[in-house]
Amino acid sequence: MCLFCKIIKGEIPNKTVLEDEQFLAFEDINPQAKIHVLIIPKIHVDSFNEISSELMKDITSFIQKVAATLGVKEKGYRLITNIGQDGGQEVKHIHFHLLAGEQLGALV
Digit-coded pLDDT (tens) for 54-64:
999 999 999 99
User: Which DSSP letter does residue 49 get?
Assistant: G
Q: Is residue 105 part of a domain?
A: no
pLDDT number for residue 6: 96
Total domains in the chain come to 1
Domain harbouring 89, CATH code: 3.30.428.10
- Section 14-37 average pLDDT: 97
Q: Alpha carbon of 34 to those of 26, 28, 73: distances in Å?
A: 14, 11, 15
CA 104 to chain centre: 17
The pLDDT value given to residue 1: 87
Q: What tens digit of pLDDT does each residue of 71-91 get?
A: 999 999 999 999 999 999 999
Q: Which of 36, 44, 93, 95 is catalytic?
A: 95
Q: What is the pLDDT of residue 26?
A: 98
Query: Taking Cα atoms as reference points, which of 78, 74, 73, 71 lies closest to residue 100?
Result: 78
- Which pLDDT value is given to residue 105? 86
Verify whether residue 97 is a known catalytic residue: no
